[in-house]
Structure 1
């Protein structure tokens, strides 16, 4: 399907209404009056037809996983006798609907399963501050999941996904460890951030020892960061804390950031998956300072500064293309 209409020329109101109509038209219980109302809405403004074309275009790109799942369920019951197929078909159809809905939910929200198994978690767009029993503070950015394991002799946090900032209460008898596979950060008392997704540790003050499971270890002090590059630890580098830990203050600070990094930031800011149509687009860079609770501003900057287009089903997915 040609993606001729530019979303910038389609009002937000038309886009929202088109999404609502797309869902209603897919409901088997839709009435004739509903269909007539849709035709009237469609004829009222050319922008309505453009908005529907955009929504359908995105859905065409998202329905393949559900279709494959439905086909797999149909194959599993094929080959049985006619009576058996007759008996199992309604159950198989119901199971397919449930599985397809679950698959779509997990596809839309990649962190859902990690958060289900976490002791502490935040959804995309949510931020949370914790006070642990030992007096340590943790600040969780959006789409983050942690598991806590405290004993009489040790304190350990395992990061399943996302990024978090730690202000550790000193206790020489109980080292504090943060596992963010494959990184392990060991401290006694300090403040630092760990980004599991990008594989980096940033120290605000104090000192930490970071290892990557290959016998190598880096020691960091205030305003230093180490990153995992090609499976190896980089040398510690001096950084601007206001930029590197801006997310903790509710700011997303991008300095010639590749589009891939921008997409990662958006995954923390709002629910829904971001799809880039061409891998080459990920090499484009973007600069700017944005509020962490305003993902639309980042998407608008991608349009205006990079000349990109976007097509969205709100809360589900956004396609980025040129």
Structure 2
């Protein structure tokens, strides 16, 4: 059964995005009247939205947001416009794994052990947490929330009994936020700020721009650039992704399992071009995978371990789609003539 808080949040999102109707209003009223717990969930969501939209009084939060504004003053004369490409449907390599491969760290009812308690105490006092050079890292926060950092990512915390603030300094992080309507969870990344109360979402920061992807609940996102509705504040539901590029903001629906698989060390492709697959996997494998030009548009589908490029190469060879050779620590993939589709989807 869906969480009452998430159901209420979905109704609020539809109202705020002006996608409500008399029928939807009637449906929401019936849902509220069905149980006292439903009405309480709706009241909590309204209260949380009011808090999330208000100015935070915490000096640490204000300092964090001020630093974000200072380092991201707009240079309007150099803004660029970005476009989107169309995806083509193609057949390709199919790999099957259990649906349990993807895990979200959203449960807050368990009691941490001694080692976790020591980590929680350290997090409360540590202004910056870095991943190791090659591995992901999951951190449990004092309130039961969890942050999963991708490799080569770092965050800075402004976290106490009165506030929940995080600055993503680089890379990517997944946040599984413990519900607390009195303390919104605020994440800043470059020119973007995401505010949640209890939800799960990814935030990324790269030279291309800032992104937010929602896997559970709703998140309020404030961007420096206006979104397509003309405003700077966007309410994102689960399954939506917002990316702020140099000169535009793009909002698209996404596959939650595919987008979140990295938190469990997996990566999912659906008819994507092999050259893009290699580009996504190489950071986790020491840039070991080289794709010859003739193999660049082999269409790949399946679920793979992020750092197992050997497994990918073996699967391609077993399917008769490519030949594989090893040279100077690199895995070089060449296309077998007339084998496999070249009508693949490019990752933008």
Query: TM-score, normalising length from structure 2?
Result: 0.47
- Kindly state the Cα deviation for residue 181 of structure 1 after the two structures are TM-superposed: 2.6
- Kindly state the Cα deviation for residue 294 of structure 1 after the two structures are TM-superposed: 1.9
Residue aligning to 2:91: none
| Paired residues for 1:101-250 under 5 Å | 118-124=128-134, 126-150=135-159, 154-197=163-206, 199-215=210-226, 216-228=232-244, 231-237=247-253, 239-250=254-265
Runs of 5+ unmatched residues, structure 1: 1-116
C-alpha distance 176-274 of structure 1, shift in aligned 2 (>3 A)? farther
Larger Rg: 1
Runs of 5+ unmatched residues, structure 2: 1-126, 227-231, 336-348
CA RMSD after TM alignment = 3.5
* Separation of aligned partners in 2, 1:211 and 1:299: 42
Residue aligning to 2:271: 256
Deviations 1:120-146 (A, max 9, x none): 31332x232210123211122333322
Contact 1:269 1:295 in 2 (8 A): no
Residue aligning to 2:8: none
* Separation of aligned partners in 1, 2:242 and 2:191: 13
Query: Does the residue aligned with 1:263 lie in a helix, a strand or coil?
Result: helix
Residues paired across the two proteins, number = 201
Contact 2:178 2:198 in 1 (8 A): yes
Query: Does the residue aligned with 2:277 lie in a helix, a strand or coil?
Result: helix
Query: Does the residue aligned with 1:122 lie in a helix, a strand or coil?
Result: coil
* Separation of aligned partners in 1, 2:273 and 2:246: 18
C-alpha distance 202-262 of structure 1, shift in aligned 2 (>3 A)? same
Query: Does the residue aligned with 1:164 lie in a helix, a strand or coil?
Result: strand
- Kindly state the Cα deviation for residue 190 of structure 1 after the two structures are TM-superposed: 0.9
C-alpha distance 132-217 of structure 1, shift in aligned 2 (>3 A)? same
Query: Does the residue aligned with 1:149 lie in a helix, a strand or coil?
Result: strand
Query: Does the residue aligned with 2:178 lie in a helix, a strand or coil?
Result: coil
* More relative contact order, 1 or 2 (CA 8 Å, 6+ apart): 2
Query: Does the residue aligned with 2:251 lie in a helix, a strand or coil?
Result: coil
Residue aligning to 1:270: 285
Contact 1:143 1:162 in 2 (8 A): yes
Contact 1:166 1:193 in 2 (8 A): yes
C-alpha distance 229-176 of structure 1, shift in aligned 2 (>3 A)? same
Query: TM-score, normalising length from structure 1?
Result: 0.50
Deviations 1:255-280 (A, max 9, x none): 122445423431453234766676x9
